[in-house]
Structure 1
């Protein structure tokens, strides 16, 4: 199943949608059309409620109808009428970023990112105003559907509600200056992280380790490694983290940059960057120079 989270521009309402063959279908309208009992339950159209708390209740039945060819045109969303949101609930999620690791690493490492800066597909990404080296990092991301504490890798795999493409946008110049001073690279990364376009459930996706990846900047493309070419699997890394902190249903975990998954040189401002993970989709974004910072210290 392929689940989207979009904002209806006419009503400023965030809704859950299903995607099939490039078309988006409003879940609430599908339920009204097919006469299902979930259509009028209060709060069921909230992404976190429907996808995480209720573990996609009723969505598989709707998706089966779409797969069978029963696709009522009255439920289809026109691309010009929606804005893509990240396929998670940003007000409910912690964002944890893994790796990347050297092959000789003894254990996974992780950092907390800024979940308030999660943005969706096809977005313009405002970089720090003085940054001259915009870059991206291609990741796989997993959305957790269950709480995890001292979990095993098998527990982690059962807890994953779905996978999506992640771009960990990075200000390389600012990152280098921070690291040279012994500071964490927070300012170089926490301004925007991009997710989408859809959340793909494990039953549809199958093993993620074999999935191929690719990055494109403008018209120039570069192949990257397969998802599974890490020192530790995603499940192993999340299990390791769960021994140190409690992970909650709705949290987003970025699996670590794939090899070859960054530009290696500054991405021109205004250039379209497309990041692809096989069978999940293409995430598109465009770096732009952000506004000048406001004074933060008295004269």
Structure 2
């Protein structure tokens, strides 16, 4: 089943997507509510609205499928890590345990929304990923995630051994809807990974393609690691991290030693398709023009008292 959050007639609804369009739940029901109930109850609730009227998808604005309590983004593809480092190599620490960072759940955008370039960035990039959404006791479902990245801001931040922060927190696309885990069960391979084809194109030209099953860990192990020593909540989002083989521009730059293809610019259209889930398509637009950030003062001579 496919659960969506959408805007129609000036009102936000949760609904179930079918071949006829999207069927609305009663007012006040959200996709996060359904996720918190657990998959069996959500499927039952979804089935009860499928007999109702459908609104054509072409007449709605698809929003992020849910408002998650948190968004963790992992780096689970070995090939991506290798391509981001020159000369190509994978740090031995990558193999020891999954690594993730927290991104901004308030900056989620929908499947077809415009995406502004962050203030001060000249190296704007996409990242092709799949995200798992946690239920009360298991993975509830999956959606496509585009982890938009201001590479110049990100690189500066990470030289201070902290971040990424402003390099990542301006926009993250989730969509087009949340596909329940039972629908994708046939795609699991013998090792428990989801063998889904992933593709990204810029202005109609394919930039990258990979299989989700090339992850170093399956989502269940990412969730187990995320929950070590802390508490996970239903609705938490876990991103796979960028796939290999052109899952982002920075990986291609790292392998080629030059910025080819060039960084994203206003007017560029980034389209991502994941087998069994769907397609998201966002247009890059100019961002807010802000003045440069004031540099920190140097602490010299050292002050030990007033």
- Structure-2-length-normalised TM-score: 0.77
Unaligned runs of at least 5 residues, structure 2: 79-89, 253-260, 295-306
Q: Is the 8 A contact 2:62 2:111 kept in 1?
A: yes
Q: 1:14 aligns with which of 12, 15, 21?
A: 12
TM-superposed deviation, 1:60: 4.4
What pairs up with 1:242-257 in 2 under 5 angstroms? 242-257=227-242
Q: Is the 8 A contact 1:17 1:24 kept in 2?
A: no
TM-superposed deviation, 1:273: 0.5
- The number of equivalent residue pairs is 263
- Structure-1-length-normalised TM-score: 0.79
1:262 maps onto 2:245 in alignment: no
Q: 1:274 aligns with which of 268, 271, 275?
A: 271
Alignment partner, residue 132 of structure 2: 142
For residues 89 and 65 of structure 1, do their structure 2 counterparts lie closer, same or farther at Cα, with a shift above 3 Å needed?
closer
1:115 maps onto 2:113 in alignment: no
Alignment partner, residue 221 of structure 2: 236
Instruction: Report Cα offsets for 1:141-187 as digits up to 9, x if no partner.
Output: 011111xxxxxxxxxxx611110000000011212222334442211
What pairs up with 1:1-299 in 2 under 5 angstroms? 1-8=1-8, 10-11=9-10, 13-21=11-19, 23-28=20-25, 43=28, 45-53=29-37, 55=39, 57=41, 59-60=43-44, 63=47, 75-79=53-57, 81-90=59-68, 93-100=69-76, 102=78, 105-146=95-136, 159-206=138-185, 207=188, 209-260=194-245, 261-263=247-249, 264=252, 265=261, 266-293=263-290
Q: Which runs of 4+ in 1 moved over 4 A?
A: 58-66, 294-297
Cα RMSD for the two superposed structures: 2.6
Unaligned runs of at least 5 residues, structure 1: 29-38, 147-157
* Secondary structure in 2 matching 1:14: strand
Alignment partner, residue 155 of structure 1: none
For residues 293 and 98 of structure 1, do their structure 2 counterparts lie closer, same or farther at Cα, with a shift above 3 Å needed?
same
